[in-house]
Amino acid sequence: MSSSLHPMLNVAIRAARAAGAIINRAALDVEAVRISQKNINDFVTEVDHASEAAIIETLLTAYPHHGIHAEESGREHGNPHSDHIWIIDPLDGTTNFIHGFPVYCVSIALAVKGRVEQAVVYDPTRNDLFTATRGRGAYLNDRRIRVSKRTQLSESLIATGFPFRKGDNFPAYLKMMGDVMQRTAGLRRPGAAALDLAYVAAGFTDGFFETGLQPWDVAAGSLLVTEAGGLMGNFSGESAPIDQPECLAGNPRVYAQLVTLLRKYSSFDSAQRPSDERKERVSLKKRNAAAADDGAAEAQGDSAADQAFQAWSGDEGTADGPAQA
């Protein structure tokens, strides 16, 4: 770990690697792992619990007055009233793990007064470490990462997640996937949302969408995406808190094109709420102004996504990304 990293990010990295070591040891004999079922198709293992315990111990040893919001233990650890809350998914992709399918990760984020400031997504199978500190960019194994440069949805690779819980609207999801599949170079379902978002940040995929996610699924990944120059929001293109169930991410141009496809499936479509739409337009104008102040290329139209794209592409090779979504 580098001494130039934020101290809290260093602690999060140490916690993620400790959890990854537990996961890797268990993966050597995954059939011996005890498994229970929280809901239909929603599994938890002794590895989830052990890796979460290791993360919490590491974090609270360093910062005993911080709060914890973890997938398995909820808020029972730490100080729930703290301004500093760690949001933890100890094993995102549990179903993949118990089948020996090597796509899963550890996700740790630190929210300060409700805003994510530090992020770690660690893939123990590949020893890939994705990190971000707000305002300092996103990195993969000490290498600065940026979202992809693709501008055409027809050339883009998009990731998603399938509905699997009781009550999920599977027919609507089939329609969404059909709309996206016909207009892209490919649609993928790796099965770990935190890693999906990290891959958008690294430019491995050009966009991602899913519904029904929880804060621990998206907290770390959301900061990775925005610090890498991408946009995050809901299906209607509005900026969204991490506890909102709709998640859409991508490089700015692809993000805008996905919004045109997915807006009609959104539960938050501002077209149905004129007053909210006016508020969002004001918000987008502020975002555009911030992007211009960042030394981006000149705007070419009224689209917030277009201006964000210009900011990102015109800033290649610099330390600062575009304005945050």
150: alpha, beta or left, given left = phi > 0 and alpha = psi -120 to 50?
beta
Q: Are 153 and 251 in contact (CB under 8 A)?
A: no
The two three-digit tokens of residue 34, written as one number: 């005890």
Residue 173, CA atoms < 13 Å, CB-side half-sphere: 16
User: Which residues pair with residue 115 across a beta bridge?
Assistant: 112
Type of residue numbered 72: E
To the question of whether residue 92 is assigned a binding role by annotation, the answer is yes
Helix (H, G, I), strand (E, B) or coil at 131: strand
Q: Phi and psi at residue 124, in whole multiples of 5°?
A: -70, -25
* Residue 89, marked binder: yes
**Rounded to an integer, what distance in angstroms lies between the CA atom of residue 196 and that of residue 247?**
11
State the DSSP H helix or E strand holding residue 200, giving kind and residue range, or none if neither.
helix 193-202
Tokens standing for residue 319: 């330390």
How many angstroms separate the CA atoms of 269 and 250, rounded?
A: 19
Per the DSSP assignment, residues forming a β-bridge with 120 are 108, 131
Q: What is the CB neighbour count within 10 angstroms for residue 60?
A: 18
Provide the terminal-to-terminal Cα distance of the chain, rounded to the nearest Å: 28
* Contact in structure between 201 and 225 (CB atoms under 8 Å): yes
The CA distance from 2 to 274, in Å, is 49
Question: Does the annotation list 243 as a binding residue?
Answer: no
Residues annotated in a binding site for Mg(2+): 71, 89, 91-92, 217
Residues annotated in a binding site: 71, 89, 91-92, 217
